[in-house]
Structure 1
Amino acid sequence: MKEAIEQADDRGIERLCKKRERFVAAPTGPGIERIEALFYGNMFTPHRHDTYALGITLQGVQTFNYRGEFRASNPGNIIILHPDELHDGGAGTEDGLQYRMLYLEPALLRSGLDHEADPLPFVGEPVIQDPVLWSIMASALGELESDMDPLLRDQFVSDIARRLSLHAKAPLKRPRFTASQSMDQVRAFLEDNFDRPVQSDELEQVAGMDRFRLIRHFRARFGTTPYRYLMMRRLQKARALMMVGQPLAGIAAETGFADQSHFNRHFRQTYGVSPGRWAELFARNNL
């Protein structure tokens, strides 16, 4: 009888934890996303973004595997994850984890560098202590319920770019010549055509160079490949539709995926959870 009561208590605690789990998303702006997450256990399977992911741990221990090593972040630390780097994520203790995350597109971060042609800063250590950068991050992530003031956005992008450059020990690898204008045109073409199959010869015509050279230059400028960039635009649109309650069944076709399984696979590879789980966590915050 005692064992049955203990098991019932455990299930009650588990239900309470699940009820408290939530994601909160701020209004999006050009090149930027902000979220807060509260959860228990190992939430995210290995996945990768095409943005810089910059976070502050608020409560608990934030654990993840990154670049072949297990990492942990405590409250007061800053997490810096680079574009296209595989990582997972979870709560390191039974008390759960609460953190806020800022996702910056490389093109936006580049605009904050002293020279736009400079290589993207690469910070080798993903968990750092920097009170100045923490204060900047806290300002950017302070009010998720409202739009960010445009002047504040420009200020913190510049400040973040400067602090990351100070911490960077080596730039991201890039070819000698990055064909900035051509790559910006390729990026614009992908954004305009995200919901249909795009062929390599189309991008060759836009950029005026062969597809393999194009891929190298695009990665150097934006931290990811044209294919990954296209997939992310589709997934961003899918998430926007999910957050307004559109059924998952129709989202795959509307956002350019071949079918539902194709959409599910790419969503999990990018965000570490299934589309259904993601929608559930965001919906729970609005109950």
Structure 2
Amino acid sequence: MGQSASHFQFTKSKYIPTLKVLQAAMFDFRYDPHAHEEYAFGVTLSGRQDFFSGGQYHRSPPGNVIIFNPDDVHDGQPGGDHTLDYVMLYIHPDQVKPLFDSALGQEKTVSFRYDSTLVQDMALRERITNVARLITTSTGSQIDQENALYQVIERITQLGGTYQPGYISTRPDALLGLAKEYIHAHLDTDLSLEGISQAAHLSKFHFLRLFRQQLGITPYQYVINCRVNAACSALEQGASLSEVTFRYGFTDLSHFNRRFKRIYGVTPYQYQRHLIC
């Protein structure tokens, strides 16, 4: 591939719900700050991946593994003058909680977060790329893919992370949790800062400051991000572009296209074509 364009290809597993693979070649593209509801496990294949996440600037050379927990805000761009090639697995937390339980030897579902964003581990790198290969080449049976995914989760738990039987939050986390719940419940309505801050039991000023401090993006950016993610899920279920555009408050298809592409690298139409045969 030449160095004049970027390319993104999404492929979903035929057997494991919510499991998707992104194969990306980036040269002239930069992601807006955003977050996914899923875990994301990736490998930098060539070039360098530069991104900001968790209050730090990261550089991922070839061979590095990148791990984003659900709701980890990050951006991303190629570093240097060479095309960045990478592969990323996306999987919803509900789908892998039983796998984390098993790997950790826990009887009840736990909340798991990996503590580092960049990991240098050959075994994990090979396990992630193996899952990606099975899905993108449509090879192997259901049990092959399930076992390959479990091998990824097992290795991640061996390398570290934090877990607990239930989510124990600090007061700021709890208040922002109320705000995020309100946002997710009203994505198809005309949201306002006043309404969101009231849901969090905070003044608008304190809410804005706390939200930016804790999440690294503004409430407005978070709302747009959540609407794009919700639209993404609807497209995967076969909803039409026009239905999704107006359901989630985008003024028109052009506006929806711009917002969607800044997070997923492709237009909503292209994304739906990738994942719905």
Of the candidates 35, 39, 60, which is equivalent to residue 48 of structure 1? 35
1:174 aligns with 2:161: no
Question: Which of 15, 27, 32 lines up with 2:12 in the alignment?
Answer: 27
Q: Structure 2: which amino acid aligns with 1:24?
A: Q
Which residue identity is paired with 2:245? A
Note if contact 2:65-2:125 (Cα within 8 Å) is conserved in structure 1: yes
In structure 2, the CA distance between the partners of 1:51 and 1:121, relative to structure 1 (3 Å rule), is: same
Judge conservation of contact 2:124–2:155 (CA < 8 Å) in 1: yes
TM-score (norm 1): 0.62
Contact 1:45 1:273 in 2 (8 A): no
Q: Is the 8 A contact 1:23 1:281 kept in 2?
A: no
Q: Mapping of 1:209-248 within 5 angstroms?
A: 232-238=229-235, 248=241
Q: Deviations over 1:172-206 (max 9, x none)?
A: 77149xxxxxxxxxxxxxxxx99977xxxxxxxxx
Is the radius of gyration larger for structure 1 or structure 2?
A: 1
Q: Which runs of 4+ in 1 moved over 6 A?
A: 193-197, 228-231, 280-284
Letter aligned with residue 103 of structure 1: Y
- How far apart are the structure 1 equivalents of 2:265 and 2:21? 20
Report the counterpart of residue 181 of structure 2 in structure 1.
none
Distance 2:265 2:49 in 1: 21
C-alpha deviation, 1:123, in angstroms: 1.7
Counterpart Cα distance in 2 of 1:99 and 1:273: 14
Task: Tell me how large the CA RMSD over aligned residues is.
Answer: 4.0
Size of the aligned set, in residue pairs, is: 220
For structure 2, the residue ranges without an aligned partner over 5 or more in a row are 170-184, 190-198, 201-224
Relative distance call for 1:85 and 1:271 in structure 2 (3 A) is: farther
The alpha-carbon distance between structure 1 residues 161 and 229, as it changes in their structure 2 partners (threshold 3 A), is: farther
* Partner of residue 159, structure 1: 151
5+ residue gaps, structure 1, are 1-15, 177-192, 198-210, 213-227
TM-score (norm: length of structure 2): 0.64
Secondary structure, in 3 states, of the residue corresponding to 2:32? strand
- Identity %, equivalent residues: 19
Which of 62, 75, 81 is residue 68 of structure 2 equivalent to?
81
Shift of 1:141: 0.9
CA contact (8 A) 1:41 1:92 kept: no
Partners of 1:271 and 1:106 in 2: CA distance = 23
Cα distance change of structure 1 residues 27 and 283 upon mapping to structure 2, 3 Å threshold: closer
Structure 2 CA distance for partners of 1:158 and 1:268, relative to 1, 3 Å? same
Partner residue, 1:136 = 127
1:270/1:22 CA distance change after superposition, 3 Å: closer
Asked if 1:71 corresponds to 2:62, the answer is no
What SS class does the counterpart of residue 12 from structure 2 fall into? coil
> What corresponds to 1:207 in structure 2?
none
